[in-house]
């Protein structure tokens, strides 16, 4: 089969799609580029769409991707999986062209079913196998089930960096968020199993690993293991030169973790710490587990021990209670912090969440205006961060792609640089001086 995949949402989704594609390719299927299909240069027999439900916009993009796949090849099978598929299976099943909807609890079954012409029947067969006595051919999935459906997975597309899923699910139930409904309870493999998988990644030759999860800092909590102990184990794996923690909740980012990262061999001075709101009133309405004072203290600690660290923050615009007065506090709080840039989301009602029952709704045009002002602030913060790094020498891991005679790579503190293409430098680290002339301006 020719298979094309499209992923929406977070790095966790990207790691999962990539892992599924690697298993499908190993079984003799051909992976074709989604963008090439969009241009009409390729055609797929099966389209996989890994969806996201974090905002209404994300769901709109999922629906558009399904319609696009169906237009490209009306005879193709379309499998829709992931978070939006989990929470809106009935709606998605009704979209023309959709063959199968797989929620997060079932998407790992896909590689087992592809030899069947009729995916939907094959899913039923496999589910019966799984629930019944004959489980021999599903050994892998049994192993996952023992861990409440958790699978260690990693991306495969980029030979330089791997996104490594070490945790799934979330028990926090922030009032605006549907992710716990889509992904279930927090869970992970043991430290030993996770280190074993990391050694396999090291053996594949990739030099940088990005630890991903839904609520990464809760790794190991349900089995009395700690995220910090995992980091210490990973730091000792030979072959992996660099680790990044893709995101960690501020209340879980302990001073011990910060100090460990500062003194570690391979963890990089780059943090992604969701803030969501810069006003204590709104943070309480969101049921976040910290206040602005704790958030500010964490950033001060990071900068005290890693002055050149890059710190990114997620911020939600227009959540309930974000009056003009509260929003002014948000802007001034963010402005006062050593944040390098923001990921800005506009609040939208998510079915089933507690926020639907909260008062103090913000009109939609005001939400968009707050979004625009936060994006402006993010640009300003990012320029200031880059300026603070000009003239400094930082290690850069170079990637393989030839961009019209140049190659690109990230500094340890997440600035994208370029240099003339030299194939022998791909997947190696060199020290580079940061100059206006070698900066590539994107952040993600």
Our CA angle for 52, 214, 244, nearest 5°, is: 115
Nearest distance in Å: CB 214, ligand SF4: 5
Nearer to ligand SF4 by Cβ, of 34 and 271: the residue is 271
* DSSP state for residue 250 in the 8-state scheme: G
Nearest distance in Å: CB 429, ligand SF4: 32
Binding piece for ligand SF4, criterion CB under 6 A, among 57-65, 138-146, 174-182, 338-346? 174-182
* Per-residue exposure over 223-233, b if at least 16 CB sit within 10 Å of its own CB, e if not: eebbbbebbee
Cβ partners under 8 Å of residue 383, min gap 6: none
Nearer to ligand SF4 by Cβ, of 177 and 317: the residue is 177
Residue 402 CA: distances (Å) to CA of 35, 309, 440: 18, 28, 14
Question: For residue 269, which phi and psi values (nearest 5 degrees)?
Answer: -80, 65
Q: Is 177 in the site for ligand SF4 (CB under 6 A)?
A: yes
Contact indicator for 183, 168 with CB cutoff of 8 Å: yes
Q: Is 172 in the site for ligand SF4 (CB under 6 A)?
A: yes
In sequence order, what DSSP letters do the residues of 296-309 get, joined into one string?
HHHHHHHHHH-TT-
Strand, coil or helix: what is 125?
A: helix
Binding piece for ligand SF4, criterion CB under 6 A, among 59-67, 176-184, 298-306, 345-353? 176-184
Nearest distance in Å: CB 131, ligand SF4: 29
Contact indicator for 284, 175 with CB cutoff of 8 Å: no
Looking only at the bridges linking them, the beta strands covering 393-398 and 208-212 are unpaired
Q: Is 215 in the site for ligand SF4 (CB under 6 A)?
A: yes
Q: Is 320 in the site for ligand SF4 (CB under 6 A)?
A: no
Binding piece for ligand SF4, criterion CB under 6 A, among 169-177, 254-262, 350-358, 402-410? 169-177
Strand, coil or helix: what is 162?
A: strand
Residue 408 CA: distances (Å) to CA of 15, 82, 242, 244, 416: 21, 31, 17, 18, 7
Strand, coil or helix: what is 57?
A: helix
Q: Is 170 in the site for ligand SF4 (CB under 6 A)?
A: yes
* Among 97, 111, 149, 180, interactor with ligand SF4 by CB under 6 A: 180
What is the Cα–Cα distance from 181 to 176, expressed in whole angstroms? Answer: 12
Q: Is 317 in the site for ligand SF4 (CB under 6 A)?
A: no
Binding piece for ligand SF4, criterion CB under 6 A, among 65-73, 168-176, 302-310, 340-348? 168-176
* The token pair that represents 159 in the structure block: 């030979």
Q: Is 32 in the site for ligand SF4 (CB under 6 A)?
A: no
Question: For residue 178, which phi and psi values (nearest 5 degrees)?
Answer: -100, 0
Binding piece for ligand SF4, criterion CB under 6 A, among 153-161, 167-175, 366-374, 395-403? 167-175
* Among 214, 230, 273, 311, interactor with ligand SF4 by CB under 6 A: 214
Binding piece for ligand SF4, criterion CB under 6 A, among 43-51, 175-183, 205-213, 358-366? 175-183
Q: Is 362 in the site for ligand SF4 (CB under 6 A)?
A: no
Nearer to ligand SF4 by Cβ, of 354 and 366: the residue is 354
Q: Is 213 in the site for ligand SF4 (CB under 6 A)?
A: no
What is the Cα–Cα distance from 59 to 120, expressed in whole angstroms? Answer: 23
Nearer to ligand SF4 by Cβ, of 27 and 171: the residue is 171
By CB under 6 A, the count of residues binding ligand SF4 is 10
By CB under 6 A, name the binding residues for ligand SF4. Answer: 170, 172-174, 177, 179-180, 214-215, 249
């Amino acid at each position: 089969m020719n298979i094309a995949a499209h992923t929406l949402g977070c790095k966790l989704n990207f790691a999962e799609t990539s892992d599924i594609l690697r298993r499908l390719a190993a079984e003799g299927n051909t992976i074709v580029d989604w963008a090439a299909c969009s241009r009409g240069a390729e055609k797929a027999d099966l389209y996989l769409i890994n969806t996201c439900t974090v905002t209404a916009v994300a769901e709109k993009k999922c629906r558009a991707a399904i319609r696009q796949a169906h237009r490209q090849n009306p005879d193709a099978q379309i499998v829709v999986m992931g978070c939006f598929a989990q929470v809106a299976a009935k709606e998605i099943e009704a979209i023309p062209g959709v063959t199968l909807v797989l929620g997060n609890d079932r998407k790992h079954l896909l590689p087992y079913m592809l030899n069947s012409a009729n995916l939907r029947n094959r899913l039923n067969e496999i589910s019966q196998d799984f629930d019944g006595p004959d489980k021999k051919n599903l050994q892998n999935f049994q192993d996952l089930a023992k861990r409440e459906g958790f699978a260690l997975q990693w991306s495969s597309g980029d030979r330089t960096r791997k996104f490594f899923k070490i945790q799934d699910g979330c028990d926090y139930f922030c009032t605006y968020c549907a992710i716990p409904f889509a992904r279930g309870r927090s869970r992970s493999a043991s430290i030993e199993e996770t280190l074993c998988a990391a050694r396999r990644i090291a053996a594949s030759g990739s030099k940088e690993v990005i630890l991903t999860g839904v609520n990464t800092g809760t790794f190991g909590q349900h089995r009395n293991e700690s995220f910090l102990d995992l980091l210490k184990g990973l730091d000792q794996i030979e072959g992996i030169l660099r680790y990044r923690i893709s995101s960690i909740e501020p209340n879980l980012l302990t001073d011990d973790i910060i100090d460990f990262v500062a003194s570690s061999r391979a963890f990089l001075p780059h943090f992604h710490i969701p803030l969501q709101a810069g006003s204590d009133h709104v943070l309480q309405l969101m049921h976040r587990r910290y206040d602005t004072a704790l958030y500010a203290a964490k950033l001060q600690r990071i900068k005290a021990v890693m002055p050149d660290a890059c710190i990114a923050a997620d911020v939600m615009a227009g959540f309930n209670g974000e009056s003009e007065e509260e929003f002014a506090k948000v802007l001034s709080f963010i402005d006062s912090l050593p944040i390098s840039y923001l990921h800005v989301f506009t609040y939208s009602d998510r079915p089933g969440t507690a926020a639907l029952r909260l008062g103090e709704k913000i009109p939609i045009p005001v939400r968009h205006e707050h979004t625009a002002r936060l994006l402006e602030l993010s640009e300003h913060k990012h320029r200031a961060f880059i300026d603070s790094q000009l003239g400094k020498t930082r290690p850069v891991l170079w990637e393989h792609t030839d961009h019209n005679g140049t190659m690109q790579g990230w500094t340890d503190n997440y600035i994208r640089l370029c240099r003339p293409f030299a194939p022998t430098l791909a997947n190696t680290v060199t020290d580079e001086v940061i100059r206006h002339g070698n900066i590539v301006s994107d952040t993600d």
